[in-house]
Amino acid sequence: MVTETRLHPDDLIAPLFVREGIDEARPIDSLPGQFQHSRASLREEVRQLKDLGVPSVILFGVPERKDAHGSEAWNPDGIVQLALQDLRDDHGDDLVLCADLCVDEYTDHGHCGVLDGSGQPDNDATLELYEQIAVAQAKAGADIVAPSGMMDGQVFAIREALDEEGFDDIAILAYAAKYATALYGPFRDAVDVTIADGGDRKGYQQDIANAREAMEEIREDIAEGADIVMVKPAMPYLDVIARARAEVDIPIAAYHVSGEYAMVHAGAERGWLDLEAVAFEHTLAIKRAGADLILTYFARLLAEGMQ
């Protein structure tokens, strides 16, 4: 009767990986219980998640071919576009389809944009690619596009591109405060990404020491037209989530990332942690801090526990 915060499947978005050119799901060793899905296995996984009450999924693609520009990201026959069409055919408007909007999964260098002469993403040239991806995802059936590259001006560019093509009802979930964390390793395994020449993304992702800067990024994305803003990762940045909740009125998402998930599994495998209890406590804490939507690889486990 006096519980202040409650967790419900409606709070959850399940991140899912779909790989081109495979016939069955492949386990991801560093993400126990997660898979690189075929188109067919993805459809079955999403059907089960929907039956458990999870209202939304976000798709990440693993293409057969990568190039310097990540051109498969906006190919109408690219793996995410085809998967979006499959899921729209299966579920109509009964499922919220979200697509990660970036090129790192599709480039041969692993960065989030086309590179300049110094080997870093060319911000303005990259925005042109993001515009193409947004339109391709919208045409394929996405309800929400989620730009994750942390390029300056990405939300404004995507909003303009979508509106010009008549997709003014497609929402933008902006990775507004995406930190250059050490917790993304298992995700990069999942999407087969290696950053070229031992590089990193500290030049365009958030400094892990900075909270005020994160709030500036959040405010800028809202001013550019973001419908939802995200803080990523979640648990080490609960202070940023809480601060954002106190300052802004639009929905806030938080991404409980691959490293957070993998650590809990590793502890549980050694018998040191209760997997389900810790998964629930982590996710409840994220909601208590102020997140309205939680992207988590624990979505299935949590939804099953809430039945």
Q: What is the pLDDT of residue 242?
A: 98
Q: Counting Cβ atoms within 10 Å, is residue 22 exposed (0-12), middle (13-18) or buried (19+)?
A: middle
Tell me the residue type at 161: A
- Say if 3 falls within a structural domain: no
Positions annotated as catalytic residues are 178, 232
Q: What is the pLDDT of residue 185?
A: 87
Pick from 151, 145, 74, 135: nearest CA to 105: 74
Q: What is the pLDDT of residue 145?
A: 98
CA dist., res. 43 & res. 39, Å (int):
6
C-alpha of 232 from chain center = 9
- Say if 4 falls within a structural domain: no
DSSP 207: P
Task: Give one DSSP letter per residue of 245-283, joined into a string.
Answer: HHH--S-EEEEE-HHHHHHHHHHHHTTSS-HHHHHHHHH
Pick from 177, 299, 144: nearest CA to 245: 177
Number of domains in the chain: 1
- Say if 2 falls within a structural domain: no
Q: Count how many Cα atoms sit within 13 Å of the Cα of residue 44 in the half-sphere of its side chain.
A: 7
Pick from 116, 115, 125, 240: nearest CA to 175: 240
C-alpha of 263 from chain center = 19
- Say if 240 falls within a structural domain: yes
- Say if 97 falls within a structural domain: yes
Q: What is the pLDDT of residue 58?
A: 98
Q: What is the pLDDT of residue 79?
A: 97
* Total number of residues shown for the chain: 307
CB atoms within 10 A of CB 272: 9
Taking the chain (307 residues) in consecutive chunks of 10 residues, what is each chunk's mean pLDDT? 96 98 96 97 98 98 93 96 98 97 90 84 93 98 95 96 98 96 90 70 84 96 98 98 98 97 97 98 98 98 95
- Say if 258 falls within a structural domain: yes
Give the CATH number, domain containing residue 124.
3.20.20.70
Give the CA-trace dihedral at 263, 269, 273, 277, to 10 degrees.
Answer: 90
Domain extent, residue 29, equals 9-305
- 176 touches 152 (CB < 8 A): no
DSSP 307: -
- Say if 79 falls within a structural domain: yes
Q: What is the pLDDT of residue 195?
A: 75
Q: What is the pTM of this model?
A: 0.95
- 175 touches 148 (CB < 8 A): yes
- Say if 1 falls within a structural domain: no
Q: What is the pLDDT of residue 233?
A: 97
